[in-house]
A and B are shown apart, each in its own frame.
Chain A
Amino acid sequence: MMASSYNAKEEDGHHSGASSHGGAGAVKSKKPDNTAFKQQRLPAWQPILTAGTVLPAFFVIGLIFIPIGIGLFVSSNNIKEFEIDYTGVGESSPCHSCAKNFSWNSTTPCLCSVDFTLEQPFESNVFMYYGLSNFYQNHRRYVKSRDDSQLNGDRSALTSPSKECEPYRTSEGLPIAPCGAIANSLFNDTLELYHIDANGTSNSIPLVKKGIAWWTDKHVKFRNPGGNGNLTVAFQGTNKPVNWRRPVYELDPSDSENNGFINEDFIVWMRTAALPTFRKLYRIIQKKPSSTPTLPSGKYVLNITYNYPVLSFDGRKRMILSTISWMGGKNPFLGIAYITVGSICFFLGVVLLIIHHKYDTRNNSADIPN
């Protein structure tokens, strides 16, 4: 501080000396440049928000938002959705015993089936979700408990996973692959859907398990160590997550391309949900080439291999069937919100119109000291 002022002073002394001698050069250098920027006279657009100028904008917003809202609302209402809770809380519910007698150690899977009826046929592609409630996938300890390098096929991360995975980092002295709480708690109920036709026979509905994850996740972000060769060899020296029944390379016994870290169910699960009540895509039911609806109305049976305990933390499990529209799934909120905001804008437009007529004109005619 001291010295900087000292420098400035010396410099100044020079200047004053120079100008007092009438040096033309010194005078010239002190004259500020007459540029628009330096004189703060840049050409500028000077808008002012008055009732008069804002009015049309409000009407326009109102006129645009309300139709959009109506469109959204209608298309959301046209979406067919069916949801069924199979947690088995009530005594009467078919999965009650499975839920009650759950044990991590049981080797035999507990099976239960839920009957339901679809009142209306589901056209086009139908998406099948599982939904969990009161499940805090967004808990900080949970969210960070993963190792993205390991999931990307990094060999060193495979054998020594990140510390963030604790306490799901090693088991029995071997590193866990995939490590961490998220992977460890992979949703492992198996859901199967049967249609009961008029004569009582049940037909299995084909469920497609491909294309349920983001393409970039499946092909870039998640990779098996050492390519997709022999996964058993690649995962040697690692242990399966403690709560899993099968190692990661045997997740999908039916499709060898869907094993290891690139298993799509696994990828979907690894994308942690934003809120404690969430649903995740489970399967897709492709529309039939013929004109018959994908899921005709009628009776259905949902067969569940009940592996996933949620009662301990007061959670719920659901199965959801839904069609989609151009704006995605069923969501009346967006439509309602658009209509509301649009109407408010329109209403405010009217209010402003009144204000404008009453006050702005008065102000303009009022004499303002010039």
Chain B
Amino acid sequence: MGMDFSTLRTLISRYCVGEENWVDSRTVYIGQKEPPPGTEAFIQQRFPDNRITSSKYTFWNFIPKNMFEQFRRVANFYFLIIFLVQLIIDTPTSPITSGLPLFFVITVTAIKQGYEDWLRHKADNSVNQCPVHVVQHGKVVRKQSRKLRVGDVVLVKEDESFPCDLILLSSSRDDGTCFVTTASLDGESSHKTYYAVQDTKAYNTEQEIDSIHATIECEQPQPDLYKFVGRINFYMDSEPVARPLGSENLLLRGATLKNTEFIYAVAIYTGMETKMALNYQSKSQKRSAVEKSMNAYLVVYLCILISKAIVNTVMKYVWQADPNRDEPWYNERTETERQRHIVIRAFTDFLAFMVLFNYIIPVSMYVTVEMQKFLGSYFIMWDDEMFDEELGERAMVNTSDLNEELGQVEYVFTDKTGTLTENNMEFIECCVDGHVYVPHVICNGQVMPGAASMDMIDTSPGPDAREHEELFFRALCLCHTVQVKEEETVDGIKHGIHQGKSTSFYISSSPDEVALVEGMKRLGFTYLRLKDSHMEILNREDEIERFELLEVLTFDSVRRRMSVIVRSSSGRLYLFCKGADSAIFPRVISGKVDQIKARVEHNAVEGLRTLCVAYRPLSQEQYQEVCQLLNGAKLALQDRDKRLAEAYDLIEKDLILLGATAVEDRLQEKAADTIESLHKAGMKVWVLTGDKMETAAATCYASKLFHRNTQILELTTKRTEEQSLHDVLFDLSRTVLRQHGGMTRDTFSGLSGDCTDYGLIIDGATLSAVLRPSHEDSNSGNYKEIFLEICRNCSAVLCCRMAPLQKAQIVKLIKASKEHPITLAIGDGANDVSMILEAHVGIGIMGKEGRQAARNSDYAIPKFKHLKKMLLVHGHYYYIRISELVQYFFYKNVCFIFPQFLYQFFCGFSQQPLYDTAYLTLYNISFTSLPILLYSLIEQHINMDILKKDPSLYRDIAKNSLLRWPIFIYWTLLGVYDAIVMFFGAYFLFDNTTFTSNGQLMTTNTQMMFGNWTFGTLVFTVLVFTVTFKLALDTHYWTWINHFVIWGSLIFFVVFSLLWGGIIWPFLNYQRMYYVFMQMLSSGPAWLSIILLIAASLLPDVVKKVIWRALWPTTTERIQTKRRCLVSEPSTIFMLSQTSSRLSF
């Protein structure tokens, strides 16, 4: 439930960073003053200066370093090798053909990266040169930020951001606190309080500060933002004093000082050692399923390429065995060539063939895919429907590499609080000793005056209960970490709250706490502020009560509770504790446990979030004991968290139960509709929550995750207490499998309407029991398998009582199961980060619990309901688009290169290229690049509204269905067929011996002869038109842009060819294309054969498509056809398609 997420975060980040022991510590001399001799001798360390370098390159190393980085990519390296081979050996095509595209790609990338780096340099410079105020010899001196050294004492004023990681020494506020916003670090805009070291908080001027003589011992820098341990040693008195330092004393670089006039602080981590700098390491890259298939195809094509080259090399030497073929009198070798060894010659020939066919793996595919992903992701950001007016936020894309993965999701793991629900907490009721209190009027945050707003449902309590009631309300007013945010008026603090105006409001990292404190306000107890370690409460009689805050035992998700120790004005000591019922009840020794328990359960079933409150009076001795325990733990440099947890465990015991609270968290708008759609789309939705089972289950019913006819299977501690885990698991699997037998098919085809759904509920404890590797026998592996088997057959799974790490574990477990399903995790809080990072696609909700989730996610959306459009529309489109892009790219390059392979059989395997250099180079760059790029950006095979209305269409593309091997083979065969038609079509037109002994065809009326370049140009012309028309046939959504690029690139090809052949180009050393294209077009048969060959190439694909659509239509195709039939009927949805009736075939 999250009262304070900092401990929780520590856990997560520890998990993410990996448990590292920072044995090494550093010693910092405050104000660069040496400690007095006689103290332990420290070895003075060298610390870096405060220069931040986020830039990767310098002016000098840019070119070599950038080149190195770029050529580390396999594809670039491959093209570099091809290019070098072309430079070294005598190859059929000029090095330009592969050098130019490579150069283009490398240059564009280098310019982009160079520009980004220049921006970074500029940003670095402005940061490094910005002035900071440093206290030196009792005076404030301005220094450039980069000259700041560890140990310098810095003066920071309001609204300035901290230049490095600092330990707060003193502040302008009397209590030695300061307020900080870490918006630029973790996105949380709430103000956090930091505390000065107690011994120095009085030192408020630079002279005083300069007189401090102390050293700080702390751990070496580490990236965890929320973790810091250290110790400060004072040498000002005769006896050195040591005080603990924790993360509450550490001001992080990047955070900004707020509501505090100035502070003095000492630098401990500088420059690249600050936590901010250590944190911005790149995340591990996620790769999509499409990318994986693409790489598999690449390997196939590489094999094809190599085998083609080997076949041709072998054929060449077989063919050349006859010396008259090898070296006829008209075509002799040079002397040097003759003397070359046969092995070297063969190897050179092999390389030459490789070069000739290397275009089958085109550079441009990588560029196009990257561009498609990058540009395509803008459509997500631009989507108006994913804009949330309330938050003023739109969808955010953090990585564009995973666009298509959104169309492949099989498992959705969602958080409950803040994701399914609003995380807009509202205090509903509280229950003290079984009496229920409900505040009447709910008026957003507005304070309702007086006790009148309290309503007691049960009979009036006796005097004893009266006392408990008072204690309960005070407990809730005191036991929290809420801050009061003041309006920036001079005396706003004094009067604001008192007068009941909302000039001040509560801020906390946990909305539950705010709801509780506000609820208390409505019940008559107003928390005013924390001042000088005293908490002030305005009670029902308008009196201010002051409690001295002695200790705060912060919340963490393992303990699931928090406590405070306070001293009342009368001097009595209390420990107030609030937490989850399961965390409180075992520690309670008295109180009306049964009544409260009943009420808690009742509320939980209603879907309310419940908390229990208990207290423990402390005697002075007990308090001393507690203090000792805590201080001992706090001073520890190592394992501090562990020792603290142990201390907390000892302190929070023997509690007396006071009562319970209930807070409502409403479902997000359209959450149920979204979950239903996801179900219909064939996704399995799992809810992972830290909440208790009843609450979570209620939410699940409300959000239609479970239906009325869902059979719920429980795998909870309650059940495993009765039976052994083993038996429960086998029981469940038997239940599930009995049904499963006959209906495997149903769940995938069509809507799984009437068959029984199963819903599984599992809790954290049982889950860890299932996953725990047991040592006794090999049975444990089976548990995992059985559990997975059960899960596979459940349409919905609810995991409650989950620790953040368990969320990630579940995702990992499903990811690693044998079908390797694509997983998506969605959450809003810091506790979801681990699962967001773990899943294939991580989606963050820009929620109330900070921005941590959104920041670590791949995509961030404002609300849960936007997930529907994200997956069903955007994901579906991207998948369709990129799969066509990948298949089409391979197809068009098979069409391109296969004729060249065939030509080798007719030119003595001499590596003679069929096409001119310009055509070889530009085919992928300009003649056929734009249509597919634009197709892959704007294709919509079905209207957006239909996709949203009919989620089952999503099943059509499940399991990477458009990139499976049969489809890949179909495309490849189609490419080979087209290549054969084109090549042999031209061959028979040119050849005069095959068909009778006849004429020179393809001649104009002037009867001029055509040569090999005309032959190649004819094939190439047919090729360009065929592949472009093939794409046109696949296009279902013809906007003006499609028309423009498709017809435009054909026109460009023709214009280019006319120009290329129309001029004697002075920079070329050959003029082989001169007038070739024009001569070809001036011949009637050429036109006729171009038309014929294009038609023949396209024919089979059209026939296949039409027949498949008629005989074995997919759901998508049915909908498309149906839509066509509906075109004539007026309908708002089909408005756009009305043009089709006019323009149809």
What residues of chain A have their CB less than 8 Å away from a CB belonging to chain B? Answer: 1-7, 9-10, 12-14, 16-17, 19-20, 26-27, 30-34, 38-51, 53-54, 56-57, 61, 65, 68, 72, 76, 79, 81, 83, 127, 129, 131, 133, 135-149, 152, 162, 166-168, 181, 184-185, 211-214, 216-217, 220-221, 243, 268, 271-281, 284, 309, 312-314, 322, 324, 326-334, 336-338, 341, 344-345, 348, 352, 355-356, 359-360, 363-364, 368-370
Contact B999 A140 (CB under 8 A): no
CA distance A313 to B1103 in the complex (A): 47
A363 touches B1118 (CB 8 A): yes
User: In this complex, what residue of B is CB-closest to A131?
Assistant: B992
Q: Once the chains bind, are B280 and A3 in contact (CB under 8 Å)?
A: yes
Closest 8 CB pairs of A and B: A329-B999, A13-B184, A330-B999, A3-B54, A185-B330, A274-B1015, A331-B1001, A27-B392
The verdict on B1005 contacting chain A, using a C-beta distance below 8 Å, is: yes
B1071–A148 CB distance below 8 A: yes
B762 at the A interface (CB under 8 A): no
Q: Which of A46, A277, A333 contacts B1137 (CB 8 A)?
A: A46
* Interface status of B339 (Cβ within 8 A of chain A): no
Q: Assess the B1118–A368 pair: CB atoms within 8 A.
A: yes
User: Which residues on A sit within 8 Å (CB–CB) of B1040?
Assistant: 42
CA distance A151 to B991 in the complex (A): 28
CA distance A338 to B1088 in the complex (A): 9
**Given known A214-B1075, A273-B1011, contact A81–B998 (CB-CB < 8 A):** yes
Given the known interface contacts A54-B1106, A330-B999, the answer about A139 and B908 at a Cβ–Cβ threshold of 8 Å is: yes
A221→B1065 CA distance, assembly (Å): 11
CB-based contact A328/B1002 at 8 Å: yes
Report Cα–Cα, A42/B254, bound state, in Å. 44
A280–B1041 alpha-carbon span in the complex (Å): 47
Let me know if B1136 and A53 touch, CB within 8 A.
no
Given A12-B187, A148-B1069 in contact, is the A139-B910 Cβ separation under 8 Å? yes
Closest beta carbon of chain B to A63's beta carbon, Å = 13
Query: Besides the contacts A42-B1039, A272-B1011, what 20 more A-B pairs have beta carbons closer than 8 Å?
Result: A3-B117, A13-B185, A32-B382, A34-B384, A38-B378, A38-B382, A40-B379, A45-B1038, A47-B1036, A61-B1095, A127-B1007, A136-B907, A140-B911, A167-B335, A276-B907, A281-B1009, A328-B1002, A336-B995, A355-B1106, A363-B1118
CB-CB contacts of B249-289 with A at 8 A, as 1s and 0s? 00000100000000000000000000000001111000000
B1113 and A331 form a contact (CB under 8 A): no
In chain B, what residue has the closest Cβ to A146?
A: B1070
In the complex, A272 Cα to B532 Cα: how many Å? 98
Give, as a whole number of angstroms, the nearest-CB distance from B394 to chain A. Answer: 6
Q: Which residue of A lies closest to B1142 (CB)?
A: A45
Closest to B987 in A: A275
- Which residues of B966-1004 are within 8 A (CB) of A? 985, 987-1004
Contacts of A47 in B (CB 8 A): 1036, 1038, 1140, 1143-1145
Cβ-neighbour of A4 out of B116, B330, B996, B1106 (below 8 A):
B116
Binary flags per residue of B468-495, CB closer than 8 Å to A gives 1, else 0: 0000000000000000000000000000
Most chain B CB neighbours (cut-off 10 Å) among A47, A139, A313, A348: A47
Whether, in the assembled complex, B1037 has its beta carbon less than 8 Å from a beta carbon of chain A, the answer is yes
Known contacts A363-B1113, A363-B1118; is-contact A313 B184 (Cβ 8 Å): no
Chain B positions within 8 Å of A19 at CB level: 391-393
Contact pick for B1143, options A32, A45, A83, A309, CB 8 Å: A45
Q: Are B944 and A31 in contact (CB under 8 A)?
A: no
Check B1008–A2 contact: CB distance below 8 A.
Answer: no
Which residues on A sit within 8 Å (CB–CB) of B1003?
Answer: 324, 328-329
B1010 touches A274 (CB 8 A): yes
CB-CB under 8 A from A14, the residues of chain B are 183-184
Q: Decide yes or no: A337 and B912 within 8 Å by CB, A53-B1145, A149-B1069 being known contacts.
A: no
Question: Is there contact, CB below 8 Å, between A312 and B324?
Answer: yes
Residue from A42, A46, A139, A360 within 8 A of B938 (CB atoms): A42
Cα–Cα distance between A309 and B1010 once the two chains are bound (Å): 24
- Decide: A327 and B1088 in contact? CB cutoff 8 A: yes
Would A181 and B331 count as touching, CB distance under 8 A?
yes
A181 and B1004 alpha carbons, distance in the complex (Å): 28
Cβ contact within 8 Å between B1140 and A45: yes
B1001, A328: Cβ atoms closer than 8 Å: yes
State the CA gap A13–B54 with chains docked (Å): 18
Known: A54-B1145, A329-B1001, A360-B1121. A184 touches B995 (CB 8 A): no
- A83's nearest neighbour on chain B, judged by CB, is B997
Question: What are the residues of chain A within 8 A of B943 when measuring CB–CB?
Answer: 46
A216 to B1078, CA, bound (A): 11
Nearest residue (CB) in B for A336 is B995
B1031-1049 contacts to A (CB < 8 Å): 1033, 1036-1042
B334, B1033, B1039: residue with the most chain A Cβ atoms closer than 10 Å: B1039
Q: Given known contacts A48-B1121, A51-B1110, A334-B1089, is B54 in contact with A2 (CB within 8 Å)?
A: yes
Nearest CB of B to A120, in Å: 15
A14–B254 CA distance with the chains assembled, in angstroms: 12
Residue pairs across A and B with Cβ atoms less than 8 A apart, 10 shown, are: A2-B282, A12-B184, A42-B938, A65-B1095, A276-B907, A331-B995, A334-B989, A338-B1088, A356-B1110, A363-B1113
| Chain B residues in 8 Å Cβ range of A146 | 1070
The CA-CA distance from A284 to B950 in the complex, in Å, is 72
B952 at the interface (CB under 8 A from A): yes
B1012 at the interface (CB under 8 A from A): yes
Contact B1083–A369 (Cβ < 8 Å) = no
Distance to closest chain B CB from A229 (angstroms): 21
B185 cross-chain contacts in A, Cβ below 8 A: 13
Decide yes or no: A142 and B331 within 8 Å by CB, A2-B282, A16-B851, A45-B1140 being known contacts: yes
Residue among A81, A185, A368 with most chain B CB within 10 A: A368
The 8 Å CB contact of B184, one of A10, A39, A141, A329, is A10
Say whether B282 contacts A138, CB under 8 Å. Answer: no
Report chain A residues within 8 Å CB of B989.
331, 333-334
Say yes or no: A326-B1084 contact (C-beta < 8 A), given A32-B381, A273-B1012, A313-B328.
Answer: yes
A268–B1036 Cα distance when bound, in Å, is 49
A7→B1139 CA distance, assembly (Å): 46
CB–CB B1125/A364 < 8 A: yes
CA A48 to CA B330, docked complex, whole Å = 57
B92 adjacent to A140 (CB under 8 Å):
yes
B143 part of interface (Cβ distance < 8 Å): no
A16 proximity list for chain B (CB < 8 A):
183, 187, 189, 851
In the bound assembly, the distance between CA atoms of A216 and B1072 in angstroms comes to 12
Residue of A nearest to B1124 (CB): A48
For the complex formed, measure the closest distance between the CB of A279 and the CB atoms of chain B, giving whole angstroms: 5
Question: Which residues of chain B have C-beta atoms less than 8 A from A333's C-beta?
Answer: 988-989, 994-995, 1001
Task: Determine the residue in chain B with the shortest Cβ distance to A36.
Answer: B1039
Chain B residues lying within 8 Å of A276, measured Cβ to Cβ, are 906-908
Chain A proximity mask over B1073-1093: 1 for CB below 8 Å, otherwise 0: 011000100011100110010
Which of chain A's residues have a CB closer than 8 A to the CB of B938?
40, 42
Nearest Cβ on chain A to B746's Cβ, whole angstroms = 14
Please, how many angstroms separate the alpha-carbon atoms of A243 and B985 in the complex? 37
CA distance A363 to B1121 in the complex (A): 9
User: For residue A139, which residue of chain B has the nearest CB?
Assistant: B910
Q: Report Cα–Cα, A81/B995, bound state, in Å.
A: 13
CA distance A51 to B1064 in the complex (A): 50
- Is B328 in contact with A136, judged by CB distance below 8 angstroms? yes
Task: Identify the closest chain B residue to A6 (Cβ).
Answer: B280
Cβ of A5: which chain B residues have Cβ within 8 Å of it? 280, 282-283
Contact of A48 among B119, B995, B1120 (CB under 8 A): B1120
Contact B998 A330 (CB under 8 A): yes
User: Are A3 and B999 in contact (CB-based, < 8 A)?
Assistant: no
What residue in chain B is nearest A27 (Cβ atoms)?
B392
Which of A42, A81, A144 is in CB contact (< 8 Å) with B1041? A42
B1001 near A51 (CB under 8 angstroms)?
no
Contact residues in B for A360 (Cβ distance below 8 Å): 1110, 1121
Q: Which of B116, B119, B907 has the most CB of A within 10 A?
A: B907
| Contact indicator B910/A140 (Cβ below 8 Å) | yes
